[in-house]
Amino acid sequence: MGESGFFSGVSVVIPVRSDEDPAWLTDLIAVARLECNEVILVLESDADITAIRPALGGFGERVRFVFQTGSNKSDALNAGLREAKNVHTVFLDADVALEPGQLSAVRALLEDPDDPAEFVSVPYGMRPPPFVPIGFVSGWFFACRRSVFLSIGGWAEGFVEDVETSKRITRSGHKIRVAPFSVKLRRPVQRPVTKLFSVLTSFGRR
């Protein structure tokens, strides 16, 4: 058993919009379940669970479903954080094209015996950026030591939740490590023009 009665290992939290492509979830979970201890899907209140469960195939019974009570993404992410049963929690967007070994690489950073990370951000694109802004939070692939994240309030609400969360983490005196690899996304990165500055300064996307 891990700290505070929780299991060691990794919980994966995936926020699911009501219009999410079930095939993306199937592909994502098929890879993630081999490198984590549990998978939690956090559904919007009007999501049709009967349409999602069959798409998960034979491993669907190993997936936990949680319904969010609010309407924004930070509410969904925090619902998953509260429900997670492991020491470490990884947040993945449903459109992440997860590859074998990527979750294990992030877990290795979190459990580094010499310098364990409390938070890990994974960039997206063909390769990691040559430089990363201080406090970079990747809303699409982000990992944490659960107890630390809960102690500072979890995901922050705001115009762009990943930017506000990065501020919360850095102001609390914690550091965010950046993974030495990047991931590909199935959905084009889009934001309103009013959020352009946040994108450029934080590599945020939603």
Tokens 């934080």 — which residue? Answer: 202
pLDDT for 70 equals 84
Instruction: Name the token pair of 13.
Output: 């939290």
Mean pLDDT by 10 residues, the chain (206 residues): 62 90 88 93 82 68 84 93 96 96 97 96 74 75 97 90 92 93 81 40 42
Neighbouring C-beta atoms of residue 84, cutoff 10 Å: 27
**CA–CA gap between residue 90 and residue 37 (Å, rounded):** 11
Neighbouring C-beta atoms of residue 182, cutoff 10 Å: 18
pLDDT for 1 equals 37
3-200: CATH homologous superfamily?
Answer: Spore Coat Polysaccharide Biosynthesis Protein SpsA; Chain A (3.90.550.10)
